[in-house]
Amino acid sequence: MKITYYGHDAFLVENDGTRIIIDPFLSGQDDTTGKIPDPEDIEVSYILLTHAHSDHFGDTLAIARKNDATVIAPFEVAMICQAEGCKVHAMHIGGGFNFDFGRVKLTIAHHGSGYQTANGMEYGGNPCGLLLTMGGKTVYHAGDTGLFLDMKLIGEMTSIDAALLPIGDNFTMGVEDAVMAVSLLNPVLAIPMHYNTFPVIETDPNEFVRQVESRGKKGKVMAIGESLEI
């Protein structure tokens, strides 16, 4: 499985010809690297969403329409996409489904999920994290969440190859809590996300990796545009 980081919580995942993008907030980022692709250039057959907040929902509708891609999302978010004419597959917390490309299972996340419209905030249900298994490898994308002890259960029941964890503080776990999350989840590799996109989440990702490695685990800061085979 190949994963490519596009900043914030956006990851492109590829395996055996299937291309999936998670939380495609692309055009809304202040791209200082020139490595964040134009949503018009994204070619995927599936979009995975953790929740409806604009820094995750991002360019979902444009990407879904251009590619005729299916949006896999928590029920309420899927219904928002369906009302916009997208193909959807609705799921919810604790549920998994075997797709043609592999398996997706939604987990809890402690956060919110309102969908911002011109007329105010629309109900977006509960936010989620997700486990994506393809080609024998599993990625855990935690979405936006605070630390929770059930991460221990997730780690015991699932062999996680890469854990994508928010570290930016303020809206989600900060470094200290994210390091504890790595201990609970016990992934092969921990990758930080949801930092430095906005002033309130300015955080040093190298400090996260340093603390993860001081506990005997493996961590890696992915540069924007960088790909990794896991």
Chain residues in the site for Ni ion (CB under 5 A) = 53, 144
Residue 225's nearest CA partner among 32, 72, 1, 65 is 32
From the list Ni ion, Mn ion, none, which binds 87 (C-beta under 5 to 8 Å, kind-based)?
none
| Distance separating alpha carbons of residues 29 and 226, to the nearest angstrom | 17
Q: How many CB atoms lie within 10 A of CB 87?
A: 18
Cβ 52 to Ni ion, closest distance in Å? 8
| Distance separating alpha carbons of residues 127 and 106, to the nearest angstrom | 10
Cβ 201 to Mn ion, closest distance in Å? 8
Cβ 11 to Ni ion, closest distance in Å? 16
Residue 53 or 87 having the CB closest to Ni ion: 53
Cβ 19 to Mn ion, closest distance in Å? 23
| Distance separating alpha carbons of residues 186 and 168, to the nearest angstrom | 20
In Å, the largest CA–CA distance within the chain is: 49
Residue 76 or 144 having the CB closest to Mn ion: 144
Cα dihedral sign for 175, 9, 149, 216?
negative
Residue 75 or 195 having the CB closest to Mn ion: 195
Residue 105's nearest CA partner among 158, 47, 147 is 158
Give contact residues for Mn ion (rule: CB under 5 A).
Answer: 55, 144
- Residue 181, SS3? helix
From the list Ni ion, Mn ion, none, which binds 19 (C-beta under 5 to 8 Å, kind-based)?
none
Q: Which token pair is 15? A: 């395996």
Residue 102 or 127 having the CB closest to Ni ion: 127
Cβ 208 to Mn ion, closest distance in Å? 17
The C-alpha angle with vertex 37 and arms to 32 and 40, in degrees rounded to 5, equals: 135
Residue 8: phi and psi, rounded to 5, are: 55, -115
Tell me which residue has its CB nearest to Ni ion.
Answer: 53
Residue 11: phi and psi, rounded to 5, are: -135, 135
Residue 135 or 146 having the CB closest to Ni ion: 146
Please, which residues have CB within 8 angstroms of residue 136's CB and are 6 or more apart in sequence? none
Cβ 76 to Mn ion, closest distance in Å? 17
Residue 55 or 76 having the CB closest to Mn ion: 55
